[in-house]
Amino acid sequence: MAGSALRRLMAEYKQLTLNPPEGILAGPVNEENFFEWEALITGPEGTCFEGGVFPTKLTFPPDYPLSPPKMQFTCDMFHPNIYADGRVCISILHAPGDDPMGYESSAERWSPVQSVEKILLSVVSMLAEPNDESGANVDAAKMWRENREEFNQVAESIVRKTLGIPDNV
């Protein structure tokens, strides 16, 4: 199984290098291990995350693409769909099949036709438009709903931090 996963990951990496999505760089941490990737995601234009450069890591299971990878931001993030430890919580990264909680349809969840590129584009979309109904970070979801101005200030502080700009500038 790991052999077919490796071939698939190599093919996806080649595709990402030939035709990279705008604002995203991604690839294996090193060529010895295609199951651990790094990605840099640029904050989407017109959002409170605009201008930030957010590092992430993706960890692929040996049975990829039958099972989804895990994705985690490796910088501070404050977002309704990102846990405090940086783990990303979006439907496309949830195991295939029916949602035991009945919240997501199986069509929204992982399937082998998904790809690294689709995951990364979904995360960019998630940054732009959080799902505050399914909060991985309850405090961020509540602030997003009830005090958008404060949420934007926190996000802008994180953007400055990703760029190495002191917060008091």
- Residue-range domain boundaries for the chain: 4-163
**Alpha helices (H) along the chain:** 2-18, 116-128, 138-146, 148-162
Q: Are 78 and 58 in contact (CB under 8 A)?
A: no
Q: Is 75 a catalytic residue?
A: no
Answer whether residue 142 shows pLDDT above 90: yes
Single-letter amino acid, residue 44 = P
| Alpha-carbon gap, residue 62 to 9, rounded angstroms | 11
Query: What number is the average pLDDT over the span 135-146?
Result: 92
- Over 70: is that where the pLDDT of 75 sits? yes
Closest CA to 55 of 33, 74, 78: 74
User: How is domain 4-163 classified at the CATH fold level?
Assistant: Ubiquitin Conjugating Enzyme (3.10.110)
Across the chain, mean pLDDT equals: 91
Which residue out of 16, 89, 90, 92 is catalytically annotated? Answer: 89
pLDDT exceeds cutoff 90 at 85: yes
Q: What is the structure's pLDDT at 100?
A: 66
